């Protein structure tokens, strides 16, 4: 009987042991559930922060575009220029006005346009400077060079040409507004893109003339703010 009772006791102890494991597992599940809820709440808050930055970015884009249009709308046609609402690129698109073919020296008419344009452009951007990462002077060319050049040779020759032209524009503007020279030095860059960003016709073919352009593009710092939010999560 003792042997039998002893077995029964062992069985009861096993049952008590099994119940304690069940309680432990239930407790762990509650802990994991709590952690999951906290993580989800944290993720939702971070997503809301990113969303608010994106909304602010869009609103700032619209405000800058509206300000540029208000200031320059009457000048665009006579300058052969346009303002891209999506990229905030102020595009000068009359290549015969900008430079002679294959040259980097600014033509006199373009210099006169810059004399009028640039001080006003800086003034328009002034209220938005805390939201601007940089202003980029972009040089663009067609894909053409000469018939003896390969596609690769033409690309790199046009790269040198587009870089030379944007540097010439920046050099011309550098001291045009003396009180802004330090800001220009810190925030304006000259970049040549060669033929990497062609303008295409409705048929998808290269528009060589329109592709030869100089752009001033204000780039906002929304991506920097989003990057900071993401880094804070790590």
Q: Which helix (H) or strand (E) holds 133?
A: strand 132-140
The CA distances from residue 13 to 3, 7, 10, 25, 46, in Å, are 15, 10, 5, 18, 49
The CA distances from residue 152 to 23, 165, 196, in Å, are 71, 20, 12
Please report whether residue 36 resides in a domain.
Answer: no
* The predicted structure's pLDDT at residue 147: 83
Number of domains forming the structure of the chain: 1
Rounded CA gap, 174 and 177, in Å?
7
Please report whether residue 24 resides in a domain.
Answer: no
Q: Is residue 144 within 8 Å of residue 86, measured between CB atoms?
A: no
DSSP string of 108-132, one letter each residue: HHHHHHHHHHHHHHHHHHGGGGGGE
Please report whether residue 115 resides in a domain.
Answer: yes
Rounded CA gap, 44 and 38, in Å?
10
* The predicted structure's pLDDT at residue 23: 66
DSSP 107: P
* The predicted structure's pLDDT at residue 69: 98
Please report whether residue 33 resides in a domain.
Answer: no
Please report whether residue 44 resides in a domain.
Answer: no
* The predicted structure's pLDDT at residue 27: 66
* The predicted structure's pLDDT at residue 4: 45
CATH number where 133 lies: 3.30.1330.60
Q: Is residue 137 within 8 Å of residue 201, measured between CB atoms?
A: no
Sequence length of the chain is 234
User: In the chain, which stretches have pLDDT less than 50?
Assistant: 1, 4-12, 14
The pTM score is: 0.75
How far is C-alpha 81 from the chain's CA centre? 22
Domain hosting 99: range is 49-230
Sign of the CA dihedral with 40 first, then 41, 46, and 48 last: positive
Per-residue model confidence as pLDDT tens digits over 53-62: 666 677 888 9
Please report whether residue 21 resides in a domain.
Answer: no
Please report whether residue 8 resides in a domain.
Answer: no
* The predicted structure's pLDDT at residue 220: 86
Would you call 218 exposed, middle or buried from its count of C-beta atoms within 10 A (0-12, 13-18, 19+)? buried
How far is C-alpha 201 from the chain's CA centre? 25
Rounded CA gap, 126 and 118, in Å?
12
DSSP string of 179-225, one letter each residue: GGHHHHHHHEEEEE-TTTT--B-TTS-B-HHHHSEEEEEEEESHHHH
């Amino acid at each position: 009987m003792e042997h039998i009772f002893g077995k029964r006791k062992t069985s009861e102890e096993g049952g008590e042991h099994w119940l304690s494991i069940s309680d432990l597992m239930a407790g762990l599940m509650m802990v994991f559930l709590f952690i999951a809820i906290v993580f989800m709440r944290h993720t939702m808050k971070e997503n809301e922060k990113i969303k608010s930055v994106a909304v602010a970015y869009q609103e700032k884009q619209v405000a800058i575009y509206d300000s540029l249009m208000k200031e320059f709308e009457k000048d665009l046609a006579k300058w052969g220029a346009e303002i891209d609402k999506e990229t905030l690129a102020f595009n000068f698109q009359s290549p015969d006005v900008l430079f002679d073919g294959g040259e980097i020296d600014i033509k006199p008419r373009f210099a006169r346009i810059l004399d009028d344009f640039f001080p006003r452009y800086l003034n328009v951007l002034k209220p938005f400077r805390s939201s601007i990462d940089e202003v980029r002077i972009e040089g663009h060319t067609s894909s053409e060079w000469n018939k003896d050049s390969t596609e690769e040779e033409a690309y790199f020759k046009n790269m040198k040409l587009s870089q030379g032209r944007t540097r010439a524009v920046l050099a011309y503007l550098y001291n045009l507004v003396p009180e802004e020279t330090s800001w220009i030095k810190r925030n304006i860059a000259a970049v040549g893109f060669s033929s990497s960003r062609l303008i295409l016709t409705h048929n998808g073919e290269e528009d060589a003339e329109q592709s030869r352009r100089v752009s001033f593009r204000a780039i906002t710092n929304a991506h920097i703010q989003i990057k900071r939010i993401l880094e804070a999560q790590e």
